[in-house]
Amino acid sequence: MQRALIAGVLVGILASYYGVFVVQRGLGFLGSGLAHAAFGGVALGILLEQEPLLIAVPFTILVAIGITYVKNNTNLAGDTTIGIFFSVSMALGIIFIFMKKQYTSDAFNYLFGSILAVSLTDVIAPALLILISILLSSFWKRWAYSSFDRELAQADRLPVQFDDYILSVLIAVTIVVSIKVVGIVLIAAFLVIPPATSRLINKSFSRMTVYSIVFGVSTAIAGLWISYYLDVPSGATIILLQALLFFVVMIIKKLNY
């Protein structure tokens, strides 16, 4: 439970931090697509009897790079590109699980999240990613600029496409290191709901980021605690709490107007 709480806090920080870019850029479907792409990597790791995270990270990074490349170099819409890679990754995952020839609880834990399945690796991985994010904090202003006005950022000669690759890779890794706590099925919601809640009450992008992290961490802790004592899936509990917070904030804001 201690490992689960630590992992929940770290995941709350990561998902909420990168989620503000997902929400601001209208990339909610990207989170869902990369989460299901991660299933292909997890399934391959299970098939090869290796640590699933070690296989899922490079697998999902390749998918993220592929999505970004196709989106930037064709006239296809972003959701169409994501849908193609989403479908291929899921199909590969299903084939890999079928080739295993036996049911494994690991697949269930990664799909829906599990407190009891959280290992030391699931704590170290998000901690390392947070460290990397801190080292790359200088990118934040550029990402924020291009999130609000991509064309103006390009006119100012910012490397927008290069930044797209960096951000996509970091979002992909965030999803992979988060799926043991939240689950593949629900991690996309974790990327969207806390930032969306924060956006309801903040116009400043920096304040939106801070509030998003606060909402993500607090609901992760509360959700893990509730799920532990009620013996229900941790990911679903966290998402329901986040959704409840979103609607409460929305109603309060509407009443104030």
Q: For the segment 175-196, what is each residue's pLDDT rounded down to a tens digit?
A: 888 887 777 878 888 889 999 9
Are 236 and 186 in contact by the 8 Å Cβ rule? The answer is: yes
**Per-residue model confidence as pLDDT tens digits over 117-165:** 778 888 888 899 999 999 998 888 888 888 888 888 888 888 888 888 8
Range of the domain at 104: 2-256
Judge residue 157's burial from the number of C-beta atoms within 10 Å of its C-beta, 0-12 exposed, 13-18 middle, 19 or more buried: exposed
Residue 217 reports pLDDT greater than 60: yes
CATH number of the domain bearing residue 43: 1.10.3470.10
- Rounded CA-CA distance 89/78 in Å is 17
Q: What is the pLDDT of residue 188?
A: 83
**Per-residue model confidence as pLDDT tens digits over 88-124:** 888 988 888 888 766 566 667 777 777 667 788 888 8
Q: What is the pLDDT of residue 115?
A: 67
Q: What's the pTM?
A: 0.86
Residue, of 107 and 45, whose pLDDT is higher: 45
Structural domain count, the chain = 1
